[in-house]
Structure 1
Amino acid sequence: MARSLLPAPDARGPFSPGFWRSPLRGTWFTSVLGVVLLAGVTVLFVTGLLSYAAYNPDLSPVNDKTPDKGILGFYLFSWPTDPPWLYRLTQGVHVTLGLALVPVLLAKLWSVVPRLFTLPPTRSLTHALERISLLLLVGGALFEFVTGILNVQLDYVFPGSFYPLHFYGAWVFFGAFLAHAVLKAPVAFRNLRRMREGGEERADGQADALAAPRPDPPTVSRRGALGLVGGGSLLLLATSAGRSFDGPLRQTAVLTPHGGPEPGGGPNGFQINKTAAYAGIRADETGEEAWRLAVTGRSGTVRLSRADLLGLPLHSAALPIACVEGWSTSDQWWRGVRLRDLAALVGHDDPVDVFVESLQRRGAFRHAALRANQVGDPRSLLALSVNGEELTPDHGHPARIIVPAAPGVLNTKWVARLTFGAL
């Protein structure tokens, strides 16, 4: 019988170094991926914290989706209104970069997977702590990327609310990531210096701890493998970034779907996340005869019809809408009553926080709160029309909030009540 040309499988399985035979694994390959992740994950962490701050979570309990955050909320500040595209930029970068880094993360985990099967599991207390931090790093990375991708895809299959899960998970992951980076970054940069000097292998004559002791014949070089990883990242970038733009580029974003139908043409022909039907809005409660806006403040409550609101001084502002899922629109021309004018109508000459209530019956953020600095911005409106046309039901008719630089869910649609100074 002819002898098989394939190597016999190692009897001890993945716990034996001989089990791992890919010629691509090596310190240089892992170092390149690690340096890319060091930069990319740092940007993801910072933009993620900014996204959380944009919700003004200290306006408890209305906007606070992560109770008992304690010292983890040390950095929180009143979210600014300038530049008006701030949230569009930070969240667009966060989501698009997160998707583009998926191939890099998977390649990095593949490159070090033999380390997870080393024997003995621990050799010392220091080694045990390193192994624990590695488990937190790998588990945290997978958790953050998986929950983030599911949120972009609007598949809320994880238990509980996305906001606290992603927030707490980010701190666990980044803590482990920071510890790992402090330990491994010097080695990674030394290896990159050697690469610039013309070699991929260790220059000190020691064995490459990540290289297979008995590698199979190569079918692609390590540089070729990095090219495949980079090509995968560019493909994900090209098929997701378009949701941050209008026009033809939007059709290229096949990997970042959204909640509502594709917008049609005309003045109201831009992105919709929640439709009136999804939110449970009935036509009989938004008609001219039925709908009244209740505005409450220091001097009491006034009730205003759309005709009453149209009789007040109207102002216009060009503002985008940006959502946590990563999509955004370009500037739309909104027209309506300034929030600070409505505050003054009920006795607040100086801007104060406002509690906004919607007719919405289903979905998250049926209520929202805005900071005094947001109320005081002259571009913050209770919008009645957009791009020269009355709001459609899906865009929040009879009235909606629009605030510069605020996350989309704080631009409440189908507004029923504004309570100034209640927080």
Structure 2
Amino acid sequence: MVGMRTLPVRPRPPVFRGALHDARTATRIGRWLGIAFAICFVTGLISHVLQHPPPWAADALPSRPVWGYRLTQGLHVASGIAAVPLLLTKLWTVYPRLFAWPPVRSAAHALERLSVGVLVTGSVFELVTGLLNTAQWYPWPFSFVPAHYAVAWLTTGALLLHLAVKAPAIRAHWARRSPGTLALPAADGPDRRSLLAAVAAAVGAVTLTTAGQSFTPLGRTDLLAPRHPGHGPQGLPVNRTAA
């Protein structure tokens, strides 16, 4: 009829027919990613405290073993690099949920989506800036250390909140015989195992080709590392000259 207004039609959310966008896959990848993030966060705190010690602890910080700092920061870089393929796989697994309708169903759901937004943004920021820091390339106007440190706390807080909200789903899909896992199509099992094997291979490859910059036994395989442990005066790598 002339003059009659038509109500806007709600856009139909996309349909994702691919398998493995499920809670079991997200739980398995999330478990590995959580371990990598935990190692990266703790070793990052160690580095920050040693480089910027609080006045009350400056004289109490240990200076032994002499290889301790190299070990912790080698783990920091290695876990951060290993987290890259894990984070990409995790995002691929859960991205269909971004298109769920309605966008917010309850206060708890709003809190979950807020924590996910902070978690994803913070994780990408930490990994990108951390990788560029290993190459000593800083294409941004802010200071790396305070920004990296502050966002690490924000990301960790968002991760803990996300784990608390998702605890029931994680518990239901934690093990192979968990109730939630048993409810999933059995036909997806081989594909899930293939995906996890491919992710494990990717993590192993990036670790093997970069960890040699900190762990001398792997020095021959550090093809992608920005520096090599045996290069420099008297076999000592120099990060930055005094001049």
State if a TM-score over 0.5 links the two structures: yes
Is the 1:259–1:273 contact (alpha carbons within 8 Å) kept by the matching residues of 2? no
Amino acid of the structure 2 residue aligned with 1:38: G
Q: Which residue of 2 aligns with 1:233?
A: 203
Counterpart CA distance in 2 for 1:55 and 1:261 is 25
Q: Which residue of 1 aligns with 2:235?
A: 269
**1:84 equivalenced with 2:33 (yes/no):** no
Is the 1:38–1:181 contact (alpha carbons within 8 Å) kept by the matching residues of 2? no
Amino acid of the structure 1 residue aligned with 2:236: F
Q: Which residue of 2 aligns with 1:174?
A: 156
Amino acid of the structure 2 residue aligned with 1:91: Q
**1:158 equivalenced with 2:134 (yes/no):** no
Alpha-carbon distance change, 25 to 77 in structure 1, aligned in 2, over 3 angstroms: farther
Amino acid of the structure 2 residue aligned with 1:104: L
Q: Which residue of 2 aligns with 1:366?
A: none
Counterpart CA distance in 1 for 2:195 and 2:241 is 44
Alpha-carbon offset, residue 147 of structure 1: 0.8
1:103 to 81, 85, 96: 85
Alpha-carbon offset, residue 251 of structure 1: 3.8
| SS of the residue 1:123 aligns to | coil
Alpha-carbon offset, residue 84 of structure 1: 1.8
Alpha-carbon offset, residue 78 of structure 1: 4.3
What 5-or-longer segments of structure 2 have no aligned partner? Answer: 1-10
Alpha-carbon offset, residue 77 of structure 1: 8.2
Alpha-carbon offset, residue 122 of structure 1: 1.2
2:41 to 42, 45, 68: 45
CA RMSD of aligned residues (A): 3.0
Counterpart CA distance in 1 for 2:58 and 2:193 is 42
Alpha-carbon offset, residue 27 of structure 1: 1.6
Counterpart CA distance in 2 for 1:21 and 1:148 is 35
Counterpart CA distance in 2 for 1:261 and 1:231 is 27
Equivalent residues in 2 for 1:271-420, closer than 5 Å? 271-275=237-241, 279=243
Counterpart CA distance in 1 for 2:98 and 2:140 is 26
Counterpart CA distance in 2 for 1:226 and 1:29 is 8
Tell me which protein shows more strand as a share of its residues: 1
Counterpart CA distance in 1 for 2:93 and 2:162 is 16
1:143 to 125, 128, 131: 125
Counterpart CA distance in 1 for 2:164 and 2:146 is 27
Counterpart CA distance in 2 for 1:188 and 1:156 is 38
Is the 2:40–2:79 contact (alpha carbons within 8 Å) kept by the matching residues of 1? yes
Counterpart CA distance in 1 for 2:165 and 2:199 is 25
What 5-or-longer segments of structure 1 have no aligned partner? Answer: 1-11, 60-73, 212-216, 280-423
Counterpart CA distance in 1 for 2:85 and 2:220 is 23
Counterpart CA distance in 2 for 1:226 and 1:45 is 24
Alpha-carbon distance change, 202 to 244 in structure 1, aligned in 2, over 3 angstroms: closer
Tell me which protein shows more helix as a share of its residues: 2
Aligned length: 232
| SS of the residue 1:94 aligns to | helix
Deviations 1:219-238 (A, max 9, x none): x7110011100000000110
Is the 1:56–1:78 contact (alpha carbons within 8 Å) kept by the matching residues of 2? no
Equivalent residues in 2 for 1:115-130, closer than 5 Å? 115-130=97-112
**1:223 equivalenced with 2:205 (yes/no):** no
Equivalent residues in 2 for 1:168-207, closer than 5 Å? 168-193=150-175, 195=176, 197=177, 202-203=181-182
Counterpart CA distance in 1 for 2:214 and 2:229 is 16
- TM-score scaled to structure 2, two decimals? 0.83
Counterpart CA distance in 1 for 2:142 and 2:84 is 24
Deviations 1:286-313 (A, max 9, x none): xxxxxxxxxxxxxxxxxxxxxxxxxxxx
Counterpart CA distance in 1 for 2:211 and 2:27 is 27
- CA radius of gyration, larger in: 1
Amino acid of the structure 2 residue aligned with 1:23: A
1:253 to 202, 216, 222: 222
Alpha-carbon distance change, 259 to 160 in structure 1, aligned in 2, over 3 angstroms: farther
Alpha-carbon distance change, 224 to 153 in structure 1, aligned in 2, over 3 angstroms: same
Q: Which residue of 1 aligns with 2:27?
A: 31
- TM-score scaled to structure 1, two decimals? 0.50
| SS of the residue 1:256 aligns to | coil
